[in-house]
A and B are shown apart, each in its own frame.
Chain A
Amino acid sequence: MKKILEIALGMVTGIGGFLEAGSIATSAQAGADFGFQLVWAVALGTLALIILLEMSGRLALVSHRTLADAMRERFGIKFFVIPLLVGLALSWMVLAAEIGGVAFALQMATGITFQWWALPVAFVGWMLLWKGTFGMIEKGTAFLGLAALAIGDAALRLHPDWTQVGAALLPTRPAHDAAHYWFLAVSIIGAAISPYLYYFYSAGAVEEQWDLSYLGMNRIIAALGNAFGGVLAVAVLVVAALVFQPRGIHVDRFEPIALLLTHPLGLWGFILMVATLGINCFSATVEIALSMAYLLAQTFGWKWAEDAKPGEHARFSLVYTAVIFLAAVPIALGVDALKLTNISMALTAASLPVTVLPLFVLMNDRVYLHKHKNGWAGNLALGAVAVLSIVLLVVGIPLQFMGGGG
């Protein structure tokens, strides 16, 4: 019974982890600009995330090391400094984008310009990290994020042509704006497989003291939780395709996103969409700040645990305090949060090889995984993700340069 409850909690957390500023914005943009055509990118990103989470969770529960710990230990600090710096820089950009997402949700709710909300959002996020426990942060915010189910309800009420949605699982060439189409595809995949997700997931597995008895549950949580999140991201795309595309609305800023559910669900659609954006971005905000603190603490061998008193792990607590307030600064200064989201998602996609390739080596290392190392199927799946990550590195930045994100 306890395990079933933990699986249910894991699935709920999966929605909160998956559906944040990046995935909401990129899916809405994809639906508004290209109809159902980019469903394949959401599906591919979801599948890749499931593979990466299952493996980083398995690595953590078998070796009792987080992904960052194992990478630093196996490859040495001179190598690990690359994924560390890339991870910190991109996480900071994504953190700023998430704070922007919450600030925009508060603007939609109150009419007060988003800049004014950036520092208060950072303060509330910091308070939760300072006073809360890992479980409270992970599950509390994820439960509130269930408001996102309204998006699935809206997609069903709009009666899309499911044959067309299913057909879009296979990639097709766009009829117009090819650079923008491929840039969005890269951003969608980048939003789905942000490295902070699996650094956070593996740190959570160690913090919650998962052992070998969690092998099966890790698999179920990684697969079902993120599949559920992926379905909701597809729902955002489907609703945007049916509501925004016929009206010629492009999602250049966050403001139109509040209108996404008003057509199928009326005033409740407005309230639930604003709540979904605010809660899920807030959940991502605290998770990313925590993930950055985990990453630095695990690199330098500091004491770390979200469940301990901040004074006991002072350097760990100082990191999340500093990053959350520093990330609020660009939003408080009026940086375009949606543009920041798009750029950070594309850069995230381009940076994936620095995490995925070392993970491939680790998942085949008997010292860490004993008999639970990857078999041929695991290697095939992770190999495919590694190839995908190299393709994203090669095409992501040139697409941005060609104006795909403009």
Chain B
Amino acid sequence: MRSNWVQWKPIRPGWAPRARALLAALTLIAAAGCSSGPKQQLQTISSWAATAHMTADALRAHHTTWRYSAKTLRVARDQVDKQAKALKPDKLPPEVRGPASGAISAARDAIDSLAIVTERRDRGALAPHAARADAAARALDSIVSLIEDQ
């Protein structure tokens, strides 16, 4: 099939270069526009702890596969490490710095343990570590709520 080829008749040629320049500028602004503060970093860590908890629960109930769970827990561990490294404690209110640090460590330990247990394919050992991940997620959520209230 060949498209019907009709003579090009440009209308208003003057504003086309301006529109192109505007578009390029908007794209650059969009590319520069990703930022995350300490509250969002704590939320992300909490979310990955909650994801690890749900992954472990689904695995215990035979609702997912070992391969998916092992990979997701490794990703959860990496994401928590990444966020924990990026988090600057001095940007948190002083009264939550200690509890936040404790909850992040607890989340990291629980996800680590879940990853190890999953690599070993030990379904029976998942429950206590899943509960720890859940507790860490809840602790982090409370801290985020405290920050929001301020």
List the interface of chain A (C-beta within 8 A of B).
Answer: 64-66, 69, 72-73, 75-79, 81-82, 85-86, 89, 107-111, 113, 176, 206-207, 247-250, 252-253, 255-256, 258-259, 262-263, 266-267, 269-270, 297-298, 301, 303-305, 339, 343, 346-347, 350-351, 354, 397, 400-403, 405-406
Q: Which A residues lie within 8 Å of B71 (CB)?
A: 107-108, 111, 113, 255
Do A301 and B3 contact each other (CB < 8 Å), given the known contacts A78-B10, A249-B51?
yes
Do A75 and B36 contact each other (CB < 8 Å), given the known contacts A206-B1, A248-B46, A304-B3?
no
Interface check B54, CB cutoff 8 A: yes
Do A82 and B148 contact each other (CB < 8 Å), given the known contacts A107-B71, A248-B50?
no
Q: Is the CB of B35 within 8 A of A403?
A: yes
A259 touches which one: B35, B58, B79 (CB < 8 A)? Answer: B58
Please give the distance in Å from B6's CB to the nearest CB on chain A.
Answer: 5
Q: Is the CB of B75 within 8 A of A253?
A: yes
Interface check B113, CB cutoff 8 A: no
Besides A82-B20, A109-B67, A350-B30, 15 more A-B contacts (Cβ < 8 Å) are: A66-B3, A78-B8, A79-B11, A79-B13, A86-B23, A111-B68, A247-B54, A253-B79, A256-B72, A266-B61, A267-B62, A304-B3, A347-B27, A397-B29, A400-B29
Do A403 and B44 contact each other (CB < 8 Å), given the known contacts A110-B67, A206-B1, A253-B79?
no
Q: Is the CB of A350 within 8 A of B26?
A: yes
Q: Is the CB of A255 within 8 A of B75?
A: yes
Interface check B4, CB cutoff 8 A: yes
A255 touches which one: B19, B31, B51, B65 (CB < 8 A)? Answer: B51
Please give the distance in Å from B55's CB to the nearest CB on chain A.
Answer: 7
* A303 to B3 alpha-carbon distance, docked (Å): 7
* A177 to B94 alpha-carbon distance, docked (Å): 23
Q: Which B residues lie within 8 Å of A270 (CB)?
A: 58, 63-65, 68
A400 touches which one: B33, B40, B72 (CB < 8 A)? Answer: B33
Q: Is the CB of B36 within 8 A of A403?
A: yes
* A351 to B5 alpha-carbon distance, docked (Å): 27
B53 touches which one: A75, A247, A266, A405 (CB < 8 A)? Answer: A247
* A130 to B34 alpha-carbon distance, docked (Å): 38
* A64 to B11 alpha-carbon distance, docked (Å): 23
Q: Is the CB of A85 within 8 A of B1?
A: no
Please give the distance in Å from B54's CB to the nearest CB on chain A.
Answer: 6
Interface check B105, CB cutoff 8 A: no
B30 touches which one: A75, A253, A400 (CB < 8 A)? Answer: A400
B11 touches which one: A76, A81, A256 (CB < 8 A)? Answer: A76
* A362 to B37 alpha-carbon distance, docked (Å): 46
* A230 to B136 alpha-carbon distance, docked (Å): 37
Instruction: Write 5 A-B pairs (CB below 8 A) sorted by A numbering.
Output: A82-B16, A250-B47, A253-B75, A351-B23, A406-B35
Q: Is the CB of A72 within 8 A of B8?
A: yes
Beta-carbon contacts under 8 Å, B42-98 to A? 43-44, 46-48, 50-51, 53-55, 58, 61-68, 70-72, 75-76, 79
Do A82 and B19 contact each other (CB < 8 Å), given the known contacts A248-B137, A270-B65?
yes
Q: Which A residues lie within 8 Å of B51 (CB)?
A: 249, 255-256, 259
Q: Is the CB of B23 within 8 A of A82?
A: yes
Q: Which B residues lie within 8 Å of A81 (CB)?
A: 16, 20
Please give the distance in Å from B45's CB to the nearest CB on chain A.
Answer: 11
A207 touches which one: B1, B16, B23, B33 (CB < 8 A)? Answer: B1
Q: Which B residues lie within 8 Å of A64 (CB)?
A: 4
Please give the distance in Å from B39's CB to the nearest CB on chain A.
Answer: 10
* A111 to B59 alpha-carbon distance, docked (Å): 14
Q: Is the CB of A249 within 8 A of B50?
A: yes
Q: Which A residues lie within 8 Å of B47 (CB)?
A: 248-250, 252
* A69 to B79 alpha-carbon distance, docked (Å): 47
* A339 to B31 alpha-carbon distance, docked (Å): 11
Q: Which B residues lie within 8 Å of A85 (CB)?
A: 20
